[in-house]
Amino acid sequence: MLNLSVWLAALLMGVLLGLLGAGGSILTVPILVYLADQPEKLAIAGSLFIVGMTALVACIAHSRKNHLHIQSALFVGIPSMISASGGAYLSQFVEGEVQMITLSLIMLLASLVILFPVNLNRDSSYTTSYSKAKLSIAGLLIGLITGFVGIGGGFLIIPALLIFSKLAMKQAIGTSLLIIAMQGFSGFAKHAFLLKQNAEQLNWMLIMLITVFSILGTLVGFKVSKRMSQYHLKRLFGLLLLPLSGFVLFNNI
């Protein structure tokens, strides 16, 4: 039986996803490895399923508010699905510790992006003037990272959408969730195939329970997002990632 900390952490991850639209999913792999005692490879694969399902539910909630730009999602999402599968394929050639070290560095990068953001926010309605090529290139790069270390990559997707799609922040958040779901499921499918080839089995009971708790947290976060300061929440989350990235790095060197 898993301890309470696993469920609370899964709820927190979901709440952050609902509040911020991205970011919370980067906690999934550490939750699975350090709280649920999952091997790195299994944790990364399971994370992609959990992140994909949670992001999909959050995306549906945002779509009801008209916070979704399908065309931009496709230009980023389709290339990212291809490269997420590629990232998963490449992961079989390295040890799990290498993936965790890579994750720790990405967590550090995410922390810096959150704590020292470039002012890209646009309160006006989005336009459809965007760079298709740059969106697709961004999708390829982000998907590769996603498939390799099992994260959603929202902290990279949202700036790409703001810059290259000219979306307002709310539309960028909703659109990023659809992209996270697309690349998450693609990366998961490849990881699951590789695990099956190696006769390794995912703990589906664990994955589904954490997914449910994460989704519940997402719905709560989405409901209360209007009543809370996203600026202060993001800064707190960025500060949380700093020691967490150090912890992950220290445990894998």
Q: What pLDDT, in 10s, does the model give residues 43-71?
A: 999 999 999 998 898 888 878 888 889 99
Count CB neighbours of 125 within 10 A: 9
- Domain total for the chain? 1
Is the pLDDT assigned to residue 17 strictly greater than 80?
no
Helical pair 96-115 and 230-250, crossing angle rounded to 10 deg: 150
Q: How far apart are CA 107 and CA 168, in angstroms?
A: 25
What mean pLDDT comes out for the span 167-181? 88
What mean pLDDT comes out for the span 182-188? 96
Helical pair 70-91 and 40-63, crossing angle rounded to 10 deg: 180
Q: How far apart are CA 59 and CA 20, in angstroms?
A: 12
pLDDT band at 96 (very low <50, low <70, confident <90, very high): very high
- Residue 174: give the domain boundaries: 4-250
Q: Which two tokens stand for residue 72?
A: 């931009």
Is the pLDDT assigned to residue 112 strictly greater than 50?
yes
What pLDDT does 129 receive? 54
What pLDDT does 126 receive? 44
Is the pLDDT assigned to residue 37 strictly greater than 80?
yes
What mean pLDDT comes out for the span 226-245? 79
What pLDDT does 188 receive? 97
Helical pair 169-197 and 70-91, crossing angle rounded to 10 deg: 30
What pLDDT does 127 receive? 47
Angle, vertex CA 143, rays to CA 55 and CA 171, nearest 5: 45
Q: How far apart are CA 162 and CA 130, in angstroms?
A: 10
Backbone angles phi, psi at 251, to 5 degrees: -80, 0
Token pair 């997402």 in the structure block, residue: 218
Is the pLDDT assigned to residue 23 strictly greater than 80?
no
What pLDDT does 120 receive? 55
pLDDT band at 10 (very low <50, low <70, confident <90, very high): confident
pLDDT band at 184 (very low <50, low <70, confident <90, very high): very high
What pLDDT does 105 receive? 94
Radius of gyration of the chain (CA): 17
